[in-house]
Amino acid sequence: MKLNVNRILLLGCLAMPFTAAKAQTGPVIAGDFADPSIIKTPQGYFATATSSEWAPHYPIYSSQDLQTWKQVGYVFDKAPEWTSGSFWAPEYYFHNNTYYLYYTARRKSDNVSCIGVATSKYPDKGFKDHGVLVDFGKEAIDAFIYNDNGQLYITFKAYGLDKRPIEILGSKLSADGLKLEGEPFSMLKDTPGIGMEGQSILKKGNYYYLFYSAGNCCGNGCSYHVRVARSATFAGPYEEYSQNPILQTHEAWKCPGHGTFAQTKEGKYMYIYHAYNEANNVFTGREGLMAELVWPADNSWPSFVSRHTESKPVDLTTSFAEKKPAGYWQWDFRNSQPVFTQKNGSLYLTGSVKEGNKTGLVLTVRPVSTNFDVTTTVANTNAALKGLAFYGDVNAAIGVGVVNDKIEYWLVKDNKRSVLATANIKAGLPIQLKLTTYDDHHGEAFYRQANGSWQQVGDKQNIGFLPQWDRSPRPGLHYQGDGKQQAVFNEFKITNKTK
């Protein structure tokens, strides 16, 4: 079986954007981590995934033992100049002593999704962008690289090609991996109503097997599943398996797809993919799962067997004791530009927002459950609003904060900002704030001073409007004010309430 030896099975648990631990049966990668790509290097193992509209772009994690993962950086701290958003489906590759990252983003000039490429001598830093590599029709996404006897190929999904259907296209790549060569060719055409994307290719015996995702990838109405086709030549034509799909909604997971193959030390071939947790719905996004690829005795058509690993929601506690802010913070780069530093055990947050932004800016982290408390302490007093938010997008957020000597519980929805409730507090004392979420997609807000009892502000609210079609909402630290003021936070904590 041919396989890119730079791909590796993620056996550990990445439950939050920080070190995770083993526990009860769960996903391989908990939380929003769609379209994963994993690579083995002499320095250890690295993984990256879709970051969508969150910056920095394409978080990178490392592991020495495939059990414990830690975030070590991002592919891009700043969006490449040609891009405007939708940072999807990164694909690691190693060639010519160089690390490649093929990625999808929208082009700023026309909002068309294209495939770009960046390179580095390191897997976790120093990536230099080389701009657009693939520009085809209305959309070119989901790059996959294959080395066929020394010839590099790139495959991708394309549509809008002179009224042709969605297709998986292929093209030769130059030896340096930075240019297309020759004319792209069609490998597999869509059956109307099915769709196709997120392909991976491997060879077994005399056949190339093309695994791809079909259906609607995202949101409550998703129908994603995995299919397979094969061909005696790399370019095709590919024959569809009569028993498709070979991976579909099962057990507690729905809409699986967009996977990458990897080989374990024991020689097993595994498929790392994403799916929605039925219990958490779309609130925790497309989480990472694992299945083993199994071949029958006659080496004909393969099947998948689920191989979930051990994980559970992991809490986050930070006191801001380090000089440098943690790497797990992300924000909506299209609508805000936060400025934040740490010193003397506090995080200082200020920044600017895009005109028309009714929410303000939020430093967010990925949730791994739908039932948690997020708390913080606001240490300063001024006319800016400072506190906590649960943020889906600039027009889908809810939060609680302190402004002057008043607590404000607020909501942004349907292009309107509403103050849900207020409460007066004592001047000059730090204020602790808490947002609580529940499995039924409701939330509540609380405050207290001087370690007194928690006081609820306002009523329980339905927060089912927060998730966006391709990503989960996120809790975090909130600031709304001008750049001359700032928020000072003394702690931040997420406590997951397991059943």
Distance CA 483, CA 338 (A): 10
Residue type, 291: A
Range 107-121 average pLDDT: 97
DSSP 1: -
- Return the ∠ at Cα 20 (arms to 15 and 24), rounded to 5°: 70
Distance CA 173, CA 133 (A): 10
- Tell me the average pLDDT of the chain: 90
- Strand boundaries in 135-252, DSSP class E: 139-148, 151-159, 167-173, 180-189, 197-204, 207-214, 225-231, 239-240
Q: Is the separation of the CB atoms in 229 and 253 below 8 Å?
A: no
Q: Which of 145, 173, 197, 122 is nearest to 3 (CA)?
A: 145
Domains and CATH numbers, the chain: 25-310 (2.115.10.20), 316-496 (2.60.120.200)
pLDDT 10s digits, 345-379: 999 999 999 999 999 999 999 999 999 999 999 99
Range 263-283 average pLDDT: 85
pLDDT confidence of residue 309: 65
pTM for this structure? 0.92
3-state secondary structure (DSSP) of residue 15? coil
pLDDT 10s digits, 460-498: 999 999 999 999 999 999 999 998 999 999 999 999 987
pLDDT reading at 92 higher than 60: yes
